[in-house]
Structure 1
Amino acid sequence: MSIKSVTHLNFRGDARSALEFYRSVFGGDLAVVTYRDAGAVSEPAEADQVMWGQVAADNGFQVMAYDVPSSMPWERGENSFFVSVRGESAQEITAYWEGLSGGATVVRPLGPAPWAPLYGMLTDRFGVVWVLDVVGDQGR
C-alpha cells in the first residue's frame, strides 16, 4: 500500500491565478470547480472563485488550491509552510526556479549547499515559499 501527499494551498481570491501560474512553470493539466459550478454560492461576488482546483503534471508535480470564502477566517501567515520541489538534475530545477522567480523575493539564491548540489528558496508573487533542490546523497 502506498499514499500520496499533495500540497493544498489556500488563497483569498487568487487561487485561479496561482494555479495558472504554477501550470505555466511545471506544465500539466489545470482543473477548476468554482463555487457557481458546485452550486455552493453563499456570497454572489465570490461565485466564480475556486472551490476546488488542481494542477497535475506527468512529471509528478501536483498542487491543489481553493479560495477561502469571506465568511471564514483566513490569514496568509508567515513561514507557516514551504513547498519543496526535489529534482534529479540541475537543468530541471533551474527551469522551475526561473519560472517561479518572476515577481518573487529570493530568500536564498539557487546554488550549491552542503546537503545538495543545487538548492534555493524563494517566496513567489502569491506569498508561497518554495524550496527547490537537486537530490543529494543525503536525500536518497
Structure 2
Amino acid sequence: MTIHTTAHLNFRGDARAALEFYQGVFGGQLVAVSYADAHRVTEPTEADQIVFGSVISDNGFRIMAYDVPSEKAHAPGTIPLYVSVRGADPAEIVGYWEKLAEGSSVLEPLATSQWSPLYGMLTDPFGVTWVLDVEVQWSAA
C-alpha cells in the first residue's frame, strides 16, 4: 500500500495559471478539471475555474490546487492550503479517515465524488484541514 501526502493550494480564480507555472518550473503532467467538467457549477462565471488540479512529475514533485468558489469564504493566506492524502486502497484511506476524524470537524463526509470513489475533507483539532481520497485516473467521460 502506498499513499502520497501533497500540498493542496487554494486560490480564487488563479489555480490554472498557478498549476501551469509549477508545471513550467518542475515539469510533469498537469491535470486541470474545471467545475464544468465535474458538473459542479454553482456560479456560471466560475464554470472554467478549477475544482481539481494537479501537477505530478517523475522527479517526485507533486502539487494540487483548486479555485475556492465564491460561495465559500476565502482570504488568501488564512487557509492557503490543505494537506492531501491520496492512495489506491479504499480501506487504507477509510482507516486514516476514521482516525483523523476523531475530534475533528468534518467539512465533507468521506463519500463518492465526481472524481473519486472516496473523497472527504475535515479540519483536525489543531486547525489543519485534510483532504483524503482514493486516487484514480481522471476521465472527462
TM-score calculated relative to the size of structure 1? 0.54
The match for 1:27 is: 27
Task: State the 4+ residue runs in structure 1 displaced beyond 6 angstroms.
Answer: 78-81
Corresponding letter in the other structure for 1:14: D
Count of paired positions? 81
Counterpart amino acid of residue 28 in structure 2: G
CA distance in 2, matches of 1:39, 1:21: 26
Q: Displacement of 1:3 after TM fit?
A: 3.4
**Aligned CA distance change for structure 1 residues 52 and 79 (closer, same or farther; 3 Å):** closer
Question: How far, CA to CA, are the matches of 2:79 and 2:69 in structure 1?
Answer: 22
Task: State the partner residue of 2:70.
Answer: 70
- Structure number with greater CO (CA < 8 Å, separation at least 6) is 2
Give the secondary structure class of the aligned counterpart of 2:73: coil
Equivalence for 1:38: 38
Superposition deviation, residue 4 in structure 1: 2.1
The one-letter code sitting in structure 1 at the alignment partner of 2:75 is E
> Are 2:6 and 1:10 aligned?
no
User: Quick one: distance in 1 between partners of 2:37 and 2:48?
Assistant: 8
> Who wins on radius of gyration, i.e. which is larger?
1
Aligned counterparts of 1:40 and 1:72: Cα–Cα separation in 2: 14
* Counterpart position of 2:50: 50
Cα distance, 1:77 vs structure 2:
1.8
Query: What is the percent sequence identity of the aligned residues?
Result: 57
- The DSSP-based 3-state class of the residue aligned with 2:4 is coil
Amino acid at match of 1:51: V
Whether the 8 Å CA contact 2:32–2:50 is kept in 1: the answer is yes
Q: Please, which runs of 5 or more residues in structure 2 have no aligned partner?
A: 82-141
Q: RMSD over aligned Cα, in angstroms? A: 1.8
Q: 2:76 is matched by which residue type in structure 1? A: R
CA 1:66–1:26 in 2, change beyond 3 Å: closer, same or farther? same
Shift of 1:79: 9.9
SS at match of 1:5: strand
1: CA distance, partners of 2:52 / 2:79: 24
* 2:17 match: secondary structure: helix
Query: Quick check: 2:10–2:80 contact (8 Å CA) kept in 1?
Result: no
CA distance in 2 between partners of 1:79 and 1:31 (Å):
22
Unaligned runs of 5+ in 1: 82-140
Q: CA deviation at 1:2?
A: 4.8
